[in-house]
């Protein structure tokens, strides 16, 4: 705890030193600094390497309306190559991240399938019965009403009707394949845990807070079925 406090103190001291070295006399000075800081932070966040002195020169020329040293055609060609390079870099980064997430998910499912009460299906879907229900099982074309909580394998909750305090209704054939297959095993009143591989969820695509390649865990309670 003392280490963390010391690190924060050092960071605050550095910030104070920077403020003392940089004299902001007017509101315009303050806004100018903050805009520049935001641009720099975006460069860092997006891993864009720049030569600050040259970037400042270009910024100054733009503000003062000075013509670019490059023609419009040259600028278009250079920026097109730059954007292609950035896209390739991002795709590589995403693919590497996805591969890591998938490897972690595969390891999780391999261990999970050995646990008491967990059933593994040929599709790769795993489930565990918490409470059995009564009545008929839904068919893919039926509308089901459920309560659910969805988490990643590290326990991060990414969606929950329980937290919202509202059940949700949807056609069973209108959701991810893992849900369509899994909920058909349930009867009204049942509560199951589903462990869904990425191939039965969102695949390699990042969807909102769900990283590409993720195994999804759902606790699902089937409330009712509307037959179609």
Q: Is 170 a catalytic residue?
A: no
Cβ distance 222 to 190 under 8 Å?
Answer: yes
Tell me what the mean pLDDT of segment 57-86 comes to.
95
Annotated catalytic residue within 108, 194, 195, 218:
218
| Residues 6 or more apart in contact with residue 104 via CB below 8 angstroms | 153
Q: What is the C-alpha R_g of the chain?
A: 27
Cβ distance 187 to 193 under 8 Å?
Answer: no
Q: Is 158 a catalytic residue?
A: yes
Annotated catalytic residue within 108, 127, 148, 195:
148
Q: Is 202 a catalytic residue?
A: yes
pLDDT in tens, 153-202: 999 999 999 999 999 999 999 999 999 999 999 999 999 999 999 999 99
**Stretch (H or E) spanning 222:** strand 216-226
Q: Is 148 a catalytic residue?
A: yes
What's the pTM? 0.74
Domains of the chain with CATH codes: 2-69 (no CATH), 108-226 (3.10.50.40)
Annotated catalytic residue within 108, 194, 195, 202:
202
Q: Is 192 a catalytic residue?
A: no
Q: Is 159 a catalytic residue?
A: yes
pLDDT in tens, 74-122: 999 999 999 999 999 989 988 999 999 999 999 999 999 999 999 999 9
Annotated catalytic residue within 106, 142, 153, 158:
158
Tell whether the model's pLDDT for residue 19 goes beyond 90.
no
Of 202, 197, 203, 196, nearest to 220 by C-alpha is 196
pLDDT for 21 equals 73
């Amino acid at each position: 705890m003392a280490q963390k406090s010391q690190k924060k103190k050092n960071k605050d001291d550095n910030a104070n030193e920077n403020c003392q070295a940089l004299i902001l006399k007017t509101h315009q000075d303050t806004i100018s600094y903050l805009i520049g800081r935001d641009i720099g932070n975006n460069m860092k966040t997006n891993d864009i390497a720049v030569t600050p002195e040259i970037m400042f020169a270009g910024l100054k020329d733009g503000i003062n309306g000075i013509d670019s040293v490059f023609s419009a055609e040259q600028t278009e060609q250079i920026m097109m190559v730059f954007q292609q390079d950035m896209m390739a870099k991002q795709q590589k980064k995403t693919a590497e991240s996805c591969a890591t997430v998938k490897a972690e998910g595969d390891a999780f499912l391999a261990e999970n399938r050995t646990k008491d009460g967990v059933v593994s299906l040929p599709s790769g879907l795993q489930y565990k019965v918490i409470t059995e229900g009564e009545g008929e099982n839904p068919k893919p074309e039926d509308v089901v009403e459920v309560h659910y909580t969805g988490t990643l394998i590290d326990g991060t909750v990414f969606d929950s009707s329980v937290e919202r305090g509202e059940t949700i209704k949807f056609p069973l054939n209108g959701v991810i394949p893992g849900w369509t297959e899994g909920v058909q095993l349930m009867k009204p009143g049942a509560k199951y845990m589903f462990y869904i591989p990425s191939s039965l969820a969102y695949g390699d695509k990042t969807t909102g807070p769900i990283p590409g390649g993720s195994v999804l865990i759902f606790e699902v309670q089937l409330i009712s079925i509307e037959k179609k």
